[in-house]
Amino acid sequence: MQAKTMLIASSALMGLMMPAGAMAADQAPTAATIAAAAARADATVRAMKPEEKTVLTHGIMPLPLMPGTPPPPADSIPGAGYIAGIARLGVPALKETDASLGVSYVMGLRKDGATALPSGLSLASSWNPELAYQGGAMIAGETRAKGFNVLLAGGVNLTRDPRNGRTFEYLSEDPLLSGMLVGASIRGIQSQGIISTIKHFALNGQETGRKFVDIRISEAAARESDLLAFQIGIEQGQPLSVMCAYNVVNGAPACGNDWLLNKVLKKDWRWKGFVMSDWGAVPNLETAINGLDQQSGESLDPAVFFADKLAARAAGDKAWAARLDDMNRRVLTAIYAAGLDKSQPQPGGKIDFAANGLVALEAAKQGIVLLKNNGALPLAASAKSIAVIGGYANSGVLSGGGSSQVNSEGGPAVAVPLGGEGPFAGFMAQHYHRSAPLAAIRKLAPQANVTYRDGNYIADAVEQARKSDVAVVFVTKWSSEGLDQADLSLPNGQDALVAAVAAANPRTIVVLETGNPIAMPWLDKVAGVVQAWYPGARGGDAIASVLFGETNPSGHLPITFPASVKQLPRPVLDGYNQYEANFAGDPPFPGAKLSANYDIEGSDVGYRWFARTGAKALFPFGFGLSYTTFASNGLSVVDRPGKGLFATFTVKNTGAREGATVGQVYLTARNGAAKQRLVGFARVNLAPGASQTVTVPVDSRLLADWVKDGWQVAAGTYSFALGEDAEHLQTPVTVKLAARKWKD
């Protein structure tokens, strides 16, 4: 059975996709509606009184977190942020909540729960923009139902260092995959009449010293990697707000970086929304003239710069007065484009947690990556005895820490606090979502004797494994905002546990609940490895469904698993053993210095670096096994005059059961010089024996170099290849391209 599909990765396609059980008609703003909103914003700015012009430019954290700060306004909701409105002009207050994975829990201060999507890495492992859209629409529905109108989502920083504590929140090491997915997610969020951010702009690649680390990178390298992920995400998703980052970029703070904000974002990309700061990321008033539009969480900054100080500056300087008008115009454009002046979310809205849980379940299933299977998987439902070991598998599944922490009603099944002091200590706790793999396994193997051992005592676990047909060891590695990881090892002696259990029972399956890539010293001793990431509100069910083959795993790695940190551009994460990480990321003393040289790899992030150095990964970008087999072939890359480059190829299910896989097309060389870049992908679902021919557009920026102030494709021969993953490529095909130069 042959099916031809034209996949046009454009906002037109996104517009055709409605979320399952859409909470409201698709209100996602388009470039046209944003332009119309900007015109309305202009009129409102002209009607503003001088004293109203710094209402929309700064806001608070409506949490009783900070001693000495006044109580939050009566109409605020415990969450991340609150920006007052202007009732006289019909401008509503902005009520902001985190984040990309659902409505955050803020340490239970609201005493309500929300549906947790799986982690960003899990979503990215699906390579499925439609799934991203549906997840975004679902969490936006819950955002509205709780009375918020801004979702601080869209975390899309490239995962340059696998030890970054926020890798779990982000998507991938590749700008195309990250941009397409974050754009779809943002479109889903804004389809519900909610303002979404895209964040953290830009190059926020580590947590150590996050507020003062100076990222050194050439413009070309930035434009071809991290900035391209944002650019594609903005094109695809039309986010109404950008959140600038904590870190410094080439000597200037990201939230006051004229090049990043005024030149790249607002001038080159012609973006019309508003830039909000990260919380505690505003060092001075000058950030306003350098492109920042709104000071968030102002009590975390040295001063409230964007109120009286800003008004005074504008009163005495025409350029500042014009800037202040522009700041208001941008915030108002977002409010009008999202329709917030017409329809205000109210707290107490109904949430269908069962339906929303199904969205999280499907996302988790599609995000699970089968890394190894010597035939032991799927488990036979007829297995007589199964030893389930470790990972709090009797209680729930792990989630990541920090501002993106979501919990269901009733809070976490298990919470392991890290202790420590300060207003953010409450964020530093390992939370397990209420979805126990053990219960889900028992449900799918009712006849089996399924036992559980917590894994804290190796001999105890080994004894149980020895007596069982199969052992399933759950290993966990918690990750959080504010902290990077020392290395790729599993903590708490889990590597030894896995090795001992595998020695006792060759049919040992390891299920990873990790926020990052990890090392696996026991890999050749175990029968199977299932990467479940932080699998969200229904993660236990998703894991069991894959283990027993009810779901055929279809995930493909969005991030390289290095064989060793020695393979990385920076084997030692800058500042890791120099400064004690703290959640806020503040300098340990005034004048503390830290810099990270991203020009080592430049735009060759992740698999591109491995291709350049020839290093072989433990598991490469794009890798993922299935319970069936696939073959892809017939790649052709055609330059259609006036339309651009298109890649066409066919994928066939050559196995005995239905399954999904991801066809991947890579640039491999330009005029004979090796250069690897993902240029296209398509997820396809196929019945046994079926095949599908797909055509995907190839974005020319992925073939180009950034030269001076624009993109350049040199004339010559370009080689492209299909890949099962970034390391396993087929024989390339070549295309002759004419020279091209263009500006953004």
**In the complex, minimum distance from the CB of residue 123 to ligand GLC, in angstroms, rounded to a whole number:** 16
Restricted to residues 249-288, the positions that interact with ligand GLC (CB under 6 A) are 278-279
**In the complex, minimum distance from the CB of residue 104 to ligand GLC, in angstroms, rounded to a whole number:** 7
Residue 184 and residue 460 in contact, taking contact as beta carbons nearer than 8 Å: no
Identify the residue whose tokens are 């020839």.
614
Residues in the chain: 744
Distance CA 517, CA 217 (A): 25
Closer Cβ to ligand GLC, 225 or 241, answer by number: 241
Distance CA 727, CA 97 (A): 40
Residue 121 and residue 515 in contact, taking contact as beta carbons nearer than 8 Å: yes
**In the complex, minimum distance from the CB of residue 478 to ligand GLC, in angstroms, rounded to a whole number:** 18
**In the complex, minimum distance from the CB of residue 62 to ligand GLC, in angstroms, rounded to a whole number:** 11
**In the complex, minimum distance from the CB of residue 567 to ligand GLC, in angstroms, rounded to a whole number:** 28
**In the complex, minimum distance from the CB of residue 147 to ligand GLC, in angstroms, rounded to a whole number:** 17
Closer Cβ to ligand GLC, 356 or 403, answer by number: 403
Give yes or no for residue 199 binding ligand GLC (CB under 6 A): yes
The one among 208, 290, 366, 403 contacting ligand GLC by CB under 6 A: 403
Which amino acid is it at 700?
A: S
**What number of chain residues touch ligand GLC (CB under 6 A)?**
8
Walk across the sheet containing 644-653 and list its strands.
2-6, 691-698, 644-653, 630-640
**In the complex, minimum distance from the CB of residue 242 to ligand GLC, in angstroms, rounded to a whole number:** 12
Residues 6+ apart with CB under 8 A from 526: 372, 498, 502, 508, 509, 510
**In the complex, minimum distance from the CB of residue 100 to ligand GLC, in angstroms, rounded to a whole number:** 8
**In the complex, minimum distance from the CB of residue 737 to ligand GLC, in angstroms, rounded to a whole number:** 40
Distance CA 556, CA 561 (A): 12
Give yes or no for residue 152 binding ligand GLC (CB under 6 A): yes
**In the complex, minimum distance from the CB of residue 197 to ligand GLC, in angstroms, rounded to a whole number:** 7
Walk across the sheet containing 214-216 and list its strands.
252-253, 248-249, 214-216, 595-597
Helix (H) or strand (E) holding 717: strand 716-723
Closer Cβ to ligand GLC, 152 or 436, answer by number: 152
Give yes or no for residue 98 binding ligand GLC (CB under 6 A): yes
- CA dist list (Å): 492 to 110, 391, 458, 524, 689: 33, 11, 12, 21, 45
The one among 17, 37, 65, 80 contacting ligand GLC by CB under 6 A: 80
**In the complex, minimum distance from the CB of residue 152 to ligand GLC, in angstroms, rounded to a whole number:** 4
- CA dist list (Å): 453 to 51, 445, 527: 64, 18, 20
Per-residue b/e over 641-668, b at no fewer than 16 CB within 10 Å? eeeebbbbbbbbbebeeebbbbbbbbbb
Closer Cβ to ligand GLC, 400 or 723, answer by number: 400
Give yes or no for residue 244 binding ligand GLC (CB under 6 A): no
Closer Cβ to ligand GLC, 423 or 710, answer by number: 423
Distance CA 95, CA 92 (A): 9
Give yes or no for residue 510 binding ligand GLC (CB under 6 A): no
- CA dist list (Å): 167 to 574, 578, 603: 16, 21, 18
Closer Cβ to ligand GLC, 198 or 573, answer by number: 198
**In the complex, minimum distance from the CB of residue 135 to ligand GLC, in angstroms, rounded to a whole number:** 17
DSSP per residue, 246-290: SSEETTEEGGG-HIIIIIIIIIIS---SEEEPPTT----GGGTTT
Give yes or no for residue 320 binding ligand GLC (CB under 6 A): no
Distance CA 639, CA 705 (A): 19
**In the complex, minimum distance from the CB of residue 22 to ligand GLC, in angstroms, rounded to a whole number:** 25
Walk across the sheet containing 397-398 and list its strands.
397-398, 429-433, 414-417
**In the complex, minimum distance from the CB of residue 418 to ligand GLC, in angstroms, rounded to a whole number:** 17
Closer Cβ to ligand GLC, 166 or 323, answer by number: 166
**In the complex, minimum distance from the CB of residue 199 to ligand GLC, in angstroms, rounded to a whole number:** 6
Q: What string marks each residue from 362 to 401 as x (binds ligand GLC by CB under 6 A) or -?
A: ----------------------------------------
Q: Closest Cα partner for 124 from 81, 83, 174?
A: 174
Closer Cβ to ligand GLC, 98 or 298, answer by number: 98
Closer Cβ to ligand GLC, 79 or 535, answer by number: 79
**In the complex, minimum distance from the CB of residue 319 to ligand GLC, in angstroms, rounded to a whole number:** 30
Closer Cβ to ligand GLC, 214 or 278, answer by number: 278
- Please state the separation of Cα 193 from the chain's center in Å: 21
Restricted to residues 665-704, the positions that interact with ligand GLC (CB under 6 A) are none
DSSP per residue, 589-616: STT---EEETTTTTT--THHHHHHHTPP
Closer Cβ to ligand GLC, 207 or 699, answer by number: 207
Distance CA 484, CA 166 (A): 8
Per-residue b/e over 111-133, b at no fewer than 16 CB within 10 Å? ebbbbbbbbbbbbbbbbbbbbbb
Closer Cβ to ligand GLC, 157 or 653, answer by number: 157
Conformation bin of residue 374: beta by default, left when phi > 0, alpha when psi is -120 to 50: alpha
DSSP state of 471: E
**In the complex, minimum distance from the CB of residue 180 to ligand GLC, in angstroms, rounded to a whole number:** 21
Distance CA 134, CA 154 (A): 14
Helix (H) or strand (E) holding 153: none
Closer Cβ to ligand GLC, 201 or 630, answer by number: 201
SS3 for 698? Answer: strand
The one among 99, 194, 414, 473 contacting ligand GLC by CB under 6 A: 99
Identify the residue whose tokens are 């006051």.
256
Q: What string marks each residue from 38 to 77 as x (binds ligand GLC by CB under 6 A) or -?
A: ----------------------------------------
Give yes or no for residue 211 binding ligand GLC (CB under 6 A): no
Give yes or no for residue 143 binding ligand GLC (CB under 6 A): no
**In the complex, minimum distance from the CB of residue 279 to ligand GLC, in angstroms, rounded to a whole number:** 4
Closer Cβ to ligand GLC, 278 or 699, answer by number: 278
Which amino acid is it at 487?
A: D
Closer Cβ to ligand GLC, 170 or 548, answer by number: 170
DSSP state of 87: G
SS3 for 138? Answer: helix
Closer Cβ to ligand GLC, 80 or 158, answer by number: 80
Q: How far apart are the first and last CA of the chain?
A: 42
Residue 576 and residue 484 in contact, taking contact as beta carbons nearer than 8 Å: yes
Work out the number of other CB atoms within 10 angstroms of the CB of residue 628. Answer: 19
Closer Cβ to ligand GLC, 199 or 570, answer by number: 199
Residue ranges that bind ligand GLC, judged by CB under 6 A: 80, 98-99, 152, 199, 278-279, 403
